[in-house]
Amino acid sequence: MEKVGAVMIVGAGIGGSQAALDLGDSGLKVFLIESSTSIGGVMAQLDKTFPTNDCAMCIVSPKLVETGRHQNIDLNINCEILKVSGQAGNFTVKVKKNSLYINPDKCTGCGVCGRNCPVEAIDLFNEGLAKYAATSVKYPQAVPLVYAINKDYCIGCGVCAGVCKAKAVEYDRKDEIIDINVGAIILAPGFDEYLPPEVNKYGFGKFKNVVTSIEFERILSASGPYAGRVLRPSDGDIPQKVAFLQCVGSRDYTGEGQPYCSSVCCMYTAKEAVIAHEHQHEVKPTIFSMDIRAYGKDFDKYIIRAQEEYGVRYIRSRISSIDEDHKTKDLILRYENEDEEVIEEVYNMVVLGVGLNPPRDAQHLADKFGIKLNPYGFAETDIFNPVQTTKPGIFACGAFSQPKDIPETVTQASAAAGCVDQILFSERGKLITEKTLPPEIFVAGQPPRIGVFICHCGINIGGYVDVPEVTRYAATLPNVVMSDRNLYTCSADTQGIIKEKIEEYHLNRVIVASCTPRTHEPLFQETIREAGLNRYLFQMANIRDQCSWVHMNQPEKATEKAKDLVRMAVNKARRIAPIDRIKLGVTKKAMVIGGGITGMVAALNFASQEIETHLVQNESKLGGFANHIYHTLEGGDVQAYLSNLIEKINSNKFIHVYLDAEIETINGYIGNFKTTVLHGPNKDRVEFEHGVVVVATGAKEYKPKEYLYGQNKNVILQSEFEKILNTNGAIKDKNTIVMIQCVGSRNDDHPYCSKMCCAEAIKNALLVKKLHPEKEIIILFRDIRTYGFKETYYRKAREAGVIFLRFDENYPPEVTVNGSSLKVDVKAKKVGNLLIPTDLLVLSAGIVAPHEENEELGKMLKVPLNDDNFFLEAHVKLRPVDFATEGVFVAGLAHCPKTIEDSISQANAAVSRACTILSKDEIEAEGKIASVDPSRCSGCGMCIDNCAYNAIELIEDRRFGTVAVINQALCKGCGACSGNCRCAAIDVAGFTSEQIYAMITGRL
Amino acid sequence: MTEQAIEKQTESEKWEPKIIAFLCNWCSYAGADLAGVSRIQYPPNIRIVRVPCSGRINAYFIIKSLTDGWDGVVVSGCHPGDCHYISGNLVARRRFAILKELLEFFGIEPGRVNFMWASAAEGERFAVLIRKATEIVKKLGPNKKFEKKW
């Protein structure tokens, strides 16, 4: 059977798009199949994302644009899967492309058809809160920007065909059926949100001011039905008291909802509460929840901020009923608080934190692709590889296998791509075509012709800065020949506009005044390059992050500042010149630091693609943290898995293992690293070259100082307890066992959740109950964070008789020794003060990052740590395993506390990201580097001392004598040499002194 | 008070300093972005110039800003030890230590030129530092030291 160098991805939300980009970038052909008419999925519907409050559209839009225009990605919208045949390596999929009734090749997305359509259809993107024409796009920034006619509403009047200048409307356009041949398949259909049944206790569907969280998300959005103002649907008033109800349709055993935890609702509700208050200070949010499950990286800090800075009130309760005041349309909520009092409160609006259901067509997809679903209706996946479905060659990522948030989805998308790489690595480059760019227009020596594009960014800029005024002002500046404004300059349609304007006005410099160049510069640079301009003939003025958002109360001053910023950008743009990027070779080898499960999975993935891999482990054996774990909560045999991995590693000819190793130096840059390692008992020195680095250094278990640990032999850690239970250690004489959660987590020293301790405690408690049903187990907790399907084990533990008591964080339990036994004094909620005599106290110790080791490695690799000493990724949401430093990736516990399955996903994801580099023969380096003007250089050598990269040396020049020269491949463009050059002989491309002076004088 | 004096006083009350800020791309510029993302408000007097690293900032950029009539200058890079380019900010620190004395010699009031550190995670700190810097320059009044007298 011949392998096919192509992949099909079903579902083009953020997960599908990420997988497509990874695979497309590593040389495979990608067929991206989407059932709706545009890509972006649920993320495009969101207003902001937690825990950074990043604007969702702003961060997802560049990704979608990239996906839409990627040379190797074939985007198919409005599709249905008909039939799948074949097996791993060679599948044939029959796909039906449903007609849009508009020719996508002709449609320009101008929208005239929609504006002239006499028929109103319901706008599903805005969750039915607004009306649209029957001829529409899903949302204004949609990728691809192609209109479609909704035949359910269309009356066939023919108006749209009459007004369409492009002659794109074709009422009789037929559906198309095609066969697509691929080597592997990734399923990323996402989820559907839970919708309460017609008759429900929340009054949803009956009371107008009860909305779901996703509807509320659209209300918050600048592009939503109320343009970002928080208004309630019944009368358009600002709701002052808003109640958010958690676990609607989740953790529900009544049969109405789902028994599992939907994992994301606690965080998105906190975010919606914060953003609502931010948009309208009158809004006072109250959140009703059972547990607060803020288990992810920096999530707990967000919850604390929500409470302390935004005044969000948390009440631990589940609402029993809601009534409506018929006159005011206010809502009356009844609940029982923790002191068992029944309380009635009036709210102006209620938001239901609805859970995540499997996608409606999950069964259909499963049947077509021949995969199994789990009892909850999600894709069943391998216990140690969460992206592997029950059928080889078919992978699942994102919420299709379990409810999950955006970074986990993006990680799994890359992980699925990493697993596809393993099957199809040999077929790379066989089915793709090289991207052809038009030749660069020669602009040197020509007078600048500057085009300025000013962004409204919805209301993010336009709501505070007078954008039309700034646009008018920009047109008056020297050399500006064109000035225009856009709702979202980063959207796909605007990229087309920019290209048109470049041609129309013969622009040779382009300025975008919008958000920060740190996220959006590459997108615009790519756009102008496609229009034939050198990438560096581009400037950005940051009038959002550094203007409209920070001067919200001073619109006049903000407008004045925006003008200044635009003028400074214009002044610089007048002096910018094209820069050529240099090409760098790639050493097709990898280094993985850390020999735990994460590091080993990464190394094995590289090796299975025949990439030589150096695995560096600081301990004397492989295994890391997993050496102390026997089973996962779900029953996976960790020790068997681990020994299997180690055996594979040791027998693989592509992997070099260094034990007891320490890294002496890491030199070089993306594609070309050189590392020296001291290893073994004799500290032998070995030096090797590699193109990428994966940091999988892991973390440690916290060694408690509290609760008499180390002082009393009956106080042990959860991991020690696990060992006793799994090695037939005796606990016969221990009749009462008390477990304390959050030891060394969620406190001042370690203000984060260690994520796995709740599952560990429940796993061990269940095992005790299985071995010795008569033992009494009491778990003292703050929140039980059994997210996702782990929730069922929490339920099982309760059913098995494990007692759960919640204590307040301000009153932690106190432990005293009483002769030979221990006593735990706890102020438990609902029960009151208890003095529990216990035979064994088990502490659920958290996970801590090794501070000094991480800091040292961070410095060597030039990558940052967060406040808690875990490694800090390039972007919390969309680049979860990348570092800002190119060619370096992070996976596993080094990133933050997580489960074994998540670590394995991250390992595969890191490999997939690395393969976007290792699959290429050469990569283009950054062009903004320093250069020496030999006619000015006096050869003093000051710059050599200042260069941290050893990129400068003195040479004898035939004409100028001793002068400095800079190695282009080593230079990072920091400019430390230039800043100190007494002869002004060194300049940095893109930041030349002339350009900076122009910005300084630009004020006058 | 004479009418003229009153007019003069209200004019000086109306006066708002203009401050130029040179920020390194990786820490301080990102910190300024974070202040934006977190909607932390600060006075609208600063205009930011992005440079790759505080090490890129030539002493002459600062002097040029003052001679060109900016009322204040803010220079900010990564915290010592955090430099994206390993040690560019340390080079900058040495350079600015010397420059500080030179500016004093010129008669530039301390506080008109402000050297500081702010990381990518310190949006709040960035806003606080800008608030402080603006307040100091406001108290010092317009920058007239380099006004051309001929």
Q: Where are the domains of chain A?
A: 1-98+175-191+358-436, 99-173, 192-357, 450-573, 588-699+849-923, 702-846, 930-988
Q: Return mean pLDDT, chain A.
A: 92
Q: What is the pLDDT of residues A926-980, one digit of tens each?
A: 788 999 999 999 999 999 988 887 789 899 999 999 999 998 877 889 999 999 8
| CATH superfamily of this structure's domain A702-846 | FAD/NAD(P)-binding domain (3.50.50.60)
**Distance of alpha carbon A68 from alpha carbon A39, whole angstroms:** 9
d(CA A621, CA A627) in angstroms, rounded, equals 10
What span, in angstroms and rounded, lies between the C-alpha atoms of A660 and A682? 10
CATH 3.50.50.60 assigned to domain A192-357? The reply is yes
Q: How confident is the model at residue A190 (pLDDT cuts 50, 70, 90)?
A: very high
Q: Is it the case that residue A159 has pLDDT exceeding 70?
A: yes
CB A963 within 8 A of CB A955: yes
Partner-chain contact A972 B49, CB within 8 Å: no
pLDDT computed for residue A214 by the predictor? 93
> β-pairing, A821-828 with A832-838?
antiparallel
Summarize the confidence of residues A327-341 as an average pLDDT.
92
**Fold match flag (A99-173 vs A588-699+849-923):** no
Q: What ranges make up the beta strands (E) of A691-746?
A: 692-695, 700-701, 715-717, 736-743
- Which residues of chain B are within 8 Å of residue A988 when distances are taken between CB atoms? 52, 56
- Mean pLDDT, all residues of chain B: 87
Asked whether the beta carbons of residue A991 and residue B51 sit closer than 8 angstroms, the reply is yes
**pLDDT one-digit tens code per residue, A279-332:** 899 999 999 999 999 999 999 999 999 999 999 999 999 988 899 999 999 999
pLDDT of A967: 83
Q: Are B146 and B138 in contact (CB under 8 A)?
A: no
Rounded to the nearest angstrom, the minimum Cα separation between A1001 and chain B is 6
DSSP-derived letter for residue A544 is I
CA angle, B55 then B57 then B61, to 5°: 165
Strands (DSSP E) contained in A270-336 are 284-289, 313-316, 321-324, 331-336
Tell me the Cα Rg of chain A: 30
Give kind and range of the element (H or E) at residue A918: helix A900-918
- Residue type at A957? D
Average pLDDT rounded to a whole number, residues A143-147: 83
Residue range A225-250: average pLDDT?
92
Determine contact, residues A519/A509, Cβ cutoff 8 Å: no
Q: Which amino acid is at A837?
A: P
Distance between CA atoms of A232 and A216, rounded to whole angstroms?
Answer: 9
Name the token pair of A659: 């034990």
ipTM for the complex? 0.93
Cα nearest neighbour of B72 on chain A = A1000
Whose CA is closest to A190, among A384, A51, A68, A9?
Answer: A9
Q: With an 8 Å Cβ cutoff, are A1000 and B39 in contact?
A: no
Mean predicted confidence (pLDDT) in A741-756:
94
Q: Which of A612, A610, A619 is nearest to A592 (CA)?
A: A612
DSSP for A9-75? Answer: EE--SHHHHHHHHHHHHTT-EEEEE-SSSSB-TTGGG-SEETTTTEEHHHHHHHHHHHHHH-TTEEE
Is residue A1004 over pLDDT 60? Answer: no
Q: How confident is the model at residue A488 (pLDDT cuts 50, 70, 90)?
A: confident
Residue A631 scores a pLDDT above 70:
yes
pLDDT tens profile A786-838: 999 999 999 999 999 999 999 988 899 999 997 778 999 999 887 889 999 99
Residue B60 burial (CB < 10 Å; 0-12/13-18/19+)? middle
Q: What does the alpha-carbon distance between residue A355 and residue A353 come to, in Å, rounded to a whole number?
A: 7
Question: Is A964 in contact with A943 (CB distance < 8 Å)?
Answer: yes
The hierarchical CATH code for the domain A588-699+849-923 is 3.50.50.60
Nearest residue of B to residue A567, measured between CA atoms: B47
Which of B51, B64, B87 is nearest residue A975 as measured by Cβ atoms? B51
If we measure between CA atoms, which residue out of A598, A753, A749, A695 comes closest to residue A51? A753
* Residue-level length of chain B: 150
pLDDT band at A669 (very low <50, low <70, confident <90, very high): confident
In this structure, the number of other CB atoms found within 10 A of the CB of residue B106 comes to 11
CATH 3.40.1350 fits A99-173, yes or no: no
Dihedral of CA atoms A357, A362, A366, A371 in degrees, nearest 10, equals -20
Between B59 and A57, name the one with better pLDDT: B59
Architecture of domain B17-140: 3-Layer(aba) Sandwich (3.40)
- Residue in B closest to A51 by C-alpha: B38
Percent of chain B exceeding pLDDT 70 equals 88
| Spatial CA neighbour of A786 closest among A804, A774, A768 | A804
Q: How high is the pLDDT of residue B3?
A: 61
Sequence-ordered list of residues with C-beta below 8 angstroms from that of A894, at least 6 positions apart, any chain: A594, A598, A695, A696, A697, A698, A699, A849, A854, A870, A871
Residue B130 to residue A891: CA distance in whole angstroms = 37
What pTM did the predictor assign?
Answer: 0.83
Closest CA to A689 of A887, A882, A881, A428: A887
Separation between Cα atoms, residue A401 and residue A398, nearest integer Å:
7
According to CATH, the topology of domain A450-573 is: Rossmann fold (3.40.50)
A884 and chain B in contact, CB less than 8 A: yes
Chain B residues 108-137 within an 8 A CB cutoff of chain A: 120-121, 127
Residue extents of the structural domains in chain B: 17-140
Return d(Cα A762, Cα A718) in angstroms, integer.
10
Q: Measuring CA to CA, how many Å separate B129 from each of B35, B83, B118?
A: 12, 19, 9
pLDDT of residue A109: 73
How far apart CA B146 and CA A415 sit, in angstroms, is: 60
Give the pair of three-digit tokens for residue A107: 């449609």
Give residue A630's pLDDT band: very low, low, confident or very high (50, 70, 90): very high
Is B50 within 8 Å of chain A by CB? yes
Distance CA A766, CA A792 (A): 12
Confidence of residue A1003 (pLDDT cuts 50, 70, 90): low
Would you say residue A913 has pLDDT above 60?
A: yes
Give yes or no for B76 touching A (CB within 8 A): no
Query: Of A563, A555, A564, A497, whose CA–CA distance to A524 is shortest?
Result: A497
CA distance A349 to A563: 40
Closest residue in A to B67 (Cα) is: A1001
Query: Could you give phi then psi for residue A847, rounded to 5 degrees?
Result: -110, 130
**Alpha carbon of A152: minimum distance to chain B alpha carbons (Å):** 41
A921: tokens are: 């023969």
Q: Could you tell me which CATH class the domain A1-98+175-191+358-436 is placed in? A: alpha beta
A200-234 pLDDT per residue, tens = 889 999 999 999 999 999 999 876 788 778 999 99
Residues 524..553 of A with a Cβ closer than 8 Å to B: which? Answer: 542, 544-547, 549-553
Pick from A558, A972, A1001: CB nearest B68: A1001
Query: What is the identity of the amino acid at A477?
Result: L
Amino acid at the residue A924? E
* Residues of chain B positioned with their CB less than 8 A from the CB of A972: 85
- Which pLDDT score, from 0 to 100, does residue B12 have? 59
Give the mean model confidence (pLDDT) for residues B5-28: 80
Min Cα separation A569/chain B (Å): 9
Interchain proximity A974–B70, CB inside 8 Å? no
- Minimal-distance CA residue of chain B relative to A550: B41
Please indicate if any CB of chain B lies within 8 Å of the CB of A680.
no
Q: Whose CA is closest to A859, among A867, A849, A851?
A: A851
* pLDDT tens column, A58-69: 778 778 888 988
User: Cα-atom radius of gyration of chain B, to the nearest Å?
Assistant: 16
According to the CATH classification, is domain A930-988 in 3.40.50.720? no
Residue A221 confidence (pLDDT) = 82
Asked if residue A616 lies in contact with residue A660, where contact means CB atoms within 8 angstroms, the answer is no
Q: Please determine, for residue A160, whether its predicted confidence score (pLDDT) is greater than 80.
A: yes
Task: Please report the pLDDT score of residue A254 as a whole number.
Answer: 86
Put simply, whether B7 touches A (Cβ < 8 Å) is: no
What phi-psi label fits residue A397: left (phi over 0), alpha (psi between -120 and 50 degrees) or beta?
Answer: beta
Residue A797 has which token pair? 């533990």
pLDDT tens string A540-597: 999 999 999 999 999 999 999 999 999 999 999 999 999 988 888 999 999 999 999 9
Three-state helix/strand/coil letters over A610-670: CCEEEEECCCCCCEHHHHHCCECCCCCEHHHHHHHHHHHHHHCCCEEEECCCEEEEEEEEC
Q: Best mutation site among A464, A974, A977 for testing chain B: the one with the most B CBs within 10 Å? A: A974
Q: Mark which residues 957-986 of A lie under 8 Å from B by CB.
A: 972-976, 978-980
The alpha carbon of residue A952 and the mean position of all alpha carbons in its chain are separated, in whole angstroms, by 38
Taking CA atoms, what residue in A is nearest to B87?
A948
